[in-house]
């Protein structure tokens, strides 16, 4: 087959596979925001600014990675923010009360989050209930469990935990990151490998593309649905652990609305809400865009933090419309 000849910018654009276009749009948006910020604000166009976005949003990135798996199958998980809060409460209460060491608390928290995700995934599959309803119930359950543990913020004072939380990893030229960024990067790499190089990943895309076609091909759609919600629960619990490092406390009101931020990051990163198309790298870009919006508002100094939500809402409208347009163009 003869490769396409790109004779103009328009021809080059047409030569790009449709599934890559949303990610490229997000990458261009991020680059444009960074350049505009560098022109307008002194000290904005520095490497540490980007690294600070990762440091401040490492927990959101991990949660968004789990959400990517769910949305790729055409589902949704509204429980992630509540599971994050529950993870911080369990971690803080066990280390403050019984005095459990972190190396026992963290695996327990990850197991609890994974179990909650597994149960929700099983209910979605076995009873054929809409994921919106099941995960909404999971959200209320997890948030309610937070308040059975305590209604006040619980500080984390374990020496090992606080030492890890306050560690800075020096890179070069006075640049640094936190250990949470390393954990988030490993989660992204593991997710990318699973989605693109394993049978589970191929089944995730097939299920999101057409569940009926996937069933006709003999793919384990049911097990895949259970698996993606389990992965989302695990990532939510891991995000809760990272938020505990970031806040050094557990609180039932932590991560309120984080499920919406995670969905926004995934959608802005180019993953179709209907499933079947998207990339983990796009989710990373989506988190970076959200973090850069907050950074721009901080540098501006005269805008309320609520402008962050306004800009995110506008971006969501734009990207949902783009998804609709691209989906319409791909139809025969």
The pTM score is: 0.91
The domain locations on the chain are 50-255
Q: At a CB cut-off of 8 Å and minimum separation 6, what does 239 contact?
A: 59, 60, 62, 63, 66, 80, 84, 87, 255, 258
Is residue 5 over pLDDT 70?
no
Tell me how far CA of residue 47 lies from CA of 24, 171, 178, 285, in angstroms.
Answer: 21, 11, 15, 16
Using alpha carbons, select from 251, 106, 231 the residue that is nearest to residue 180: 106
Whether 224 and 204 have beta carbons less than 8 Å apart is answered as yes
Q: What one-character-per-residue DSSP string does 217-228 give?
A: TT--HHHHHHHH
Q: Where are the beta strands (DSSP E) in the chain?
A: 154-155, 169-170, 176-177, 249-250
Q: Indicate the range of 3-12, 83-92, 114-123, 249-258 predicted with least confidence.
A: 3-12
pLDDT in tens, 257-297: 899 999 999 999 989 888 888 899 999 999 999 999 888 88
Q: Indicate the range of 117-131, 171-185, 276-290, 311-325 predicted with least confidence.
A: 311-325
Q: What one-character-per-residue DSSP string does 239-299 give?
A: HHHHHHHHHSEE-TTTTTTHHHHHHHHHHHTT--TTSS---HHHHHHHHHHHHHHHHHHHH
How do beta strands 176-177 and 154-155 pair? unpaired
CA atoms of 61 and 327, how far apart (whole Å): 26
Q: What is the mean pLDDT of residues 227-256?
A: 95
Please give the structure tokens belonging to residue 95.
Answer: 């280390």
Taking phi over 0 as left and psi of -120 to 50 as alpha, with beta for the rest, 74 belongs to: left
Whether 73 and 272 have beta carbons less than 8 Å apart is answered as no
What pLDDT is stored for residue 11 in this prediction?
A: 52
Tell me how far CA of residue 114 lies from CA of 8, 59, 179, 221, 228, in angstroms.
Answer: 50, 16, 22, 19, 10
What pLDDT is stored for residue 258 in this prediction?
A: 94
What pLDDT is stored for residue 190 in this prediction?
A: 97
């Amino acid at each position: 087959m003869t490769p396409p000849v790109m004779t103009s910018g328009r021809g080059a654009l047409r030569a790009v596979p449709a599934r890559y276009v949303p990610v490229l749009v997000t990458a261009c948006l991020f680059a444009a925001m960074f350049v505009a910020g560098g022109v307008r604000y002194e000290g904005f166009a520095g490497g540490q600014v980007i690294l600070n976005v990762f440091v401040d949003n490492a927990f959101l990135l991990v949660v968004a990675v789990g959400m990517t798996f769910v949305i790729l199958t055409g589902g949704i998980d509204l429980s992630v923010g509540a599971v994050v809060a529950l993870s911080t409460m369990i971690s803080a209460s066990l280390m403050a009360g019984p005095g459990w060491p972190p190396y026992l608390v963290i695996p327990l928290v990850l197991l609890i989050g994974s179990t909650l995700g597994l149960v929700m995934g099983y209910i979605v599959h076995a009873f054929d209930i809409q994921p919106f309803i099941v995960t909404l119930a999971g959200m209320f359950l997890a948030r309610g469990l937070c308040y059975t543990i305590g209604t006040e913020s619980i500080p984390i004072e374990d020496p090992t935990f606080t030492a890890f939380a306050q560690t800075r990893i020096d890179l070069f030229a006075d640049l640094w990151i936190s250990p949470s960024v390393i954990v988030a990067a490993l989660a992204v790499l593991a997710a990318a490998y699973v989605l693109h190089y394993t049978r589970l990943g191929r089944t995730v895309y097939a299920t999101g593309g057409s569940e009926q076609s996937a069933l006709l091909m003999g793919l384990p759609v049911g097990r895949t649905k259970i698996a993606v919600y389990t992965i989302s629960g695990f990532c939510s619990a891991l995000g809760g652990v990272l938020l505990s490092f970031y806040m050094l406390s557990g609180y039932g009101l932590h991560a309120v609305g984080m499920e919406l931020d995670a969905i926004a990051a995934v959608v802005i990163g180019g993953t179709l809400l209907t499933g079947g198309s998207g990339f983990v790298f796009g989710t990373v870009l989506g988190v970076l865009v959200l973090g850069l919006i907050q950074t721009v508002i901080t540098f501006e100094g005269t805008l309320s933090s609520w402008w962050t939500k306004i800009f995110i809402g506008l971006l969501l409208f734009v990207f949902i419309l783009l998804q609709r347009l691209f989906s319409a163009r791909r139809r025969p």
